[in-house]
Structure 1
Amino acid sequence: MRHGRYPFIVGFLVAPVTLYVVFVIAPYAQAFYISMTNWRGFAPPTWAGFDNYKRMAGDGAFWKAIEHHLVMLITLPLVTIAIALFFAFLLNLGGRSRGSTMSGVWGSKFYRVVFFFPQLLALPIIAVLFGMVYRPNSSGLIDGVLIKLGLAPVGWLINPKLALWAVIAVLVWQAVGFYVVLFSAGMASIPKDIFEAAELDGAPQSTLFFRVTLPLLWDTLQVAWVYLGIAAFDGFAIVDVLTVDQGGPDNNTTVLAEQIYQNAFKFGKFGYASAMGVALFFLTITFAALTLRVTRRETIEL
């Protein structure tokens, strides 16, 4: 039986592994090769060695994009996880106890659906919607209210100091619903007896959250942090559709994916764009590996 098992397993693995090599590994290898050339998309590529990487090291737009990613890497996971945890706790454990079981706030099932709505919208659609929200005139949802109150419009997307924060706010709004559902699923997997025992001991809601819920949700939080960190290295769709001049004003909202797109499809510098893609690949992999290593802890057995 054991000898016949291995051909069976290999037979099932051949197709998916082949597809993975053809559609994932091969494009990565091709990108690494193109990054070492001066290919412009039409004529045969000419070898350039590390010239693209040397040029990238002195590119101000590249480093500005890195700076924006660092800001997003700190704010996007922190704010999204904090809001999602708060809502998930309310929806699952924030209500009054019913008999011997704990429950969420009234209408929690309805709120779960409402919070998940942004996940049903494509990112370009969300960018278009928030473009109307951020309009710097009376037709804008926010500035229109300010104008009616006799205040000056802020101009969220045209103000260099506020534009990036406006983009981050959209990313948070779009992501929160998914992590509310994720954390709700994690809380639902925790035995209710633990929460009920803590409540019988007189533990307040704050203790129930910080001393009971968070430690038992650690693995889920770790996954959420990695996913949101990877999202912080993206942001292309929102930046490309929502911002002024696709990354403006004056590159104050640009991200690496936007720089890759512009260099490849606007300026025809596919070799240089691929070098940026390689840099983005290693940044993302490094972040994920470090996060998993730093946040690793012993699993709490239930």
Structure 2
Amino acid sequence: MVVDALHILAHASKGGWAPDGDDRCLVDRDLGLLLVANGSGPRYGGYHAPFGLDPGLDAFRSTFASSSDSEPARLLGALAAADATMRRLGAEYERLFEVERSRSSDHPMEAALRAADAVRPKRWSHLRSHCHFAGGITACSIQASGALCFVQVGSGRAYVLRDGRLRSVVKDHTLLTRMEEGEVSMEGMDYRDNTIFYRHIVTQLLGMGDHLKPECAQERLEPRDRVLVCTEGVWNRDRGEESVLQLLAATPADFRELLDATARGSMHDATAIRFSRRDA
């Protein structure tokens, strides 16, 4: 089986937070690569333009395309390249921010804007905003045999619907999930009253932290499977897996409308890629 034998739907819908939206989706049939990504807000004030994530995605795709490794090493290498690129640019942005602050006595936010202008890719020159080189990627590679490999860093998820049973393939890196899995102690935390707060704290991001530990899983695409790769704006909502099941069952037109409705009135973008075999 080749990627051309798949029926693929992909759509990104903008929420109400970042300018121009900070979610991304990529479908590259030639590479057999599907991914969704979302950016993360800055540590000091304002909000970033979506260009903060784009250099990492460029590095991810080019590294994946040039790699001769087998999965999952190929995907993990691409993640490492994205992380290194975003760390380097983030460090440069911080350096320029300090330089701009030392040159002027105006508000630090103005210094941050000038530093952002210095590192902004040309395609984002129309946006004057802060930047923050951090975010998450959930990716899936598809081999000719029908083997699937998933990697995930951040708050994204991937699901497989098989024989009426929905299963999460790779875990997200939100604090709530890590607490529920027993990986983070709940001692001293008011768990029951703060689940909404904990569900939006991300414990790992590309471009941040010294010990990146991606989630990785391998599957085989069966004839009747439907697979969904999505950002936090889809699954981490009050309706949770109900939204995922609706997207997996939707017609192509309804698929887009459901994502638009999810993002409408929300702070988060809603982005998803759904695929299945054409002969299913």
What's the TM-score once normalised by structure 1's chain length?
A: 0.27
Structure label with greater radius of gyration? 1
Task: Determine which structure has the larger strand proportion and give its number.
Answer: 2
- Give the TM-score of the pair, scaled to structure 2: 0.29
